[in-house]
Amino acid sequence: MRHQFNWVNGAYQLASRDVIQVINPATESPIATIDSTPQETVNAIVVSSLQNFSSGVWSQADASTRFTVLSKAANLLRARLHEFINLETRQTGRPIREMKAQLFRIPEWLEYFASLARTHEGCVTPFKGPVVNTLTRLPLGVVVQITPWNHPLLIATKKIAAALAAGNSVIVKPSESAPLSVLEMGKLFQEAGLPDGTLQIVSGYGRETGKFLCESPLISKIDLTGGLATYEAIAPTASKNLIPITAELGGKAPVCFFPSMPIEKGVKAALFASFIASGQTCVTGSRLLIHSEIYNEFVEQLVRRTMSLRLGDPTDDRTQIGAVISRASVERCTAFVSHAMVEGGKVLCGGKPTDVDGKGFFFEPTLIETKPDSNLASNEVFGPVIALIRCESEEEIIRVANATSFALGASVWSNDFNQAHRVAEKINAGIVWINGHHLNDPSSPWGGFKESGLGKENGIEAYESYTKLKSTIINYGQEPTWFDDEVENARYG
């Protein structure tokens, strides 16, 4: 079994004493080991990253240099996508057909932020008097990025691209459950011309290595994709150290279906929203809010289509539903089903763990008819267990959609143009799709409200969040007169 080393200062480092096994969730077989990086090593990496930043080798590089490096990284990644697709499938258990679709777009994030680094401009404010006030954006320093296992390469690339484009030195801690593709990115960026030490990739448990990174007073920003508990664990120390946090913390996305939407099209939409990645995304369509006028026929077709989904070997192009990430995930799904039944929910299909050839962490695609205030309708499962809720009116759909503590994503399905926009406007979520779901683009800000988190990935908003704004005020005609005899023209403030 191979060991995947940390990428530090432009080289793969010697393994630490303690290692972590990375398991293929579809076969339960170990595929690699990674470092469980201890605190003294973490501290040394942070110090080294700060030295890199202070040297100016990247933080003071021309915008054209950042553009060239990130653009070349995009080209290198595009040329090696077949390797990353296979690796992502093995470490996540997601069907290879999904990974092909997702990974083919990832180079776009590097290209977008490369272009933003080259074209983003400062400005001059309308300062009163013979004064010029310029605003410029500077990199923050050493930034720490904590990335998840469900979209390992996509989410890490989104964060890395924005941070590097702005001139920061970056330390990434990928999830210990699926770190391998991210750890491979260090060598790729080196080949693209990124100075050694500008991107460090460090593995380990979140509760240890991740915690050590986030507690360092030498870092300038934390960017986290994870759960609320993780945010609550790191926020107090970050607050004490005056370190800003961008946090994407999950969701409970409502998918709202109205009578004007053809049922067959709506059912296809529900399947896509709910079961991509076996329901393991932050914007999984985990609550289907279906208008009562179409409810019975919609649910009948949806159950039939769900039961026909092909669950199996993720490396088979025909497989539509792959594994969940771990045995703990299977147990979590099982617990949600049991709780739903206790609360009076009706399991329409699925509801049980399963396997492929006696192995793997698989759970049947599951539909449960339930109430709007049930545990299943209120809390994140992160698995293929979906709540179906009958709603009597547009007003009820809006009310139910806004009734959870999450507010990341939502979608509205209606061929009534006025209704679609009216409902979208009233849904409280950071991302609302009309007649779409899971749509993403490097230019489109991504982030939620309430317990779904703080700040944004993607877009100019993400780039600017990795900068600090400097105001330079140039006096070219105002004489200093405050303490002279004639002060009627003196200015203060």
**Whole-model pTM?**
0.96
pLDDT in tens, 46-78: 999 999 999 999 999 999 999 999 999 999 999
Q: Output the pLDDT for position 78.
A: 98
Strands 385-391 and 366-369 come out as: parallel
Half-sphere exposure of 395 (CA within 13 A, CB side): 0
Mean pLDDT over 205-218 rounds to: 97
CB atoms within 10 A of CB 54: 13
Q: Output the pLDDT for position 15.
A: 82
Asked if pLDDT for residue 379 goes beyond 60, the answer is yes
Q: In order of start, what are the domains of the chain with their CATH numbers? A: 2-249+452-473 (3.40.605.10), 253-434 (3.40.309.10)
Asked if pLDDT for residue 227 goes beyond 80, the answer is yes
| Burial classification of residue 315, based on how many CB atoms lie within 10 Å of its CB (0-12 exposed, 13-18 middle, 19 or more buried) | middle
Q: Output the pLDDT for position 329.
A: 98
**How much of the chain exceeds pLDDT 70, in percent?**
98
Q: Which of 184, 215, 248, 364 does the annotation list as catalytic?
A: 248
Asked if pLDDT for residue 488 goes beyond 70, the answer is no
Q: Output the pLDDT for position 482.
A: 67
**C-alpha pair distances (Å), 333 with each of 171, 252, 270, 280, 361:** 33, 15, 19, 11, 11
**How much of the chain exceeds pLDDT 90, in percent?**
96
CB 348 within 8 A of CB 368: yes
Q: Output the pLDDT for position 138.
A: 98
Asked if pLDDT for residue 169 goes beyond 90, the answer is yes
Asked if pLDDT for residue 434 goes beyond 80, the answer is yes
Q: Output the pLDDT for position 484.
A: 63
Q: Output the pLDDT for position 1.
A: 83
Mean pLDDT over 467-473 rounds to: 97
248 is an active site residue: yes
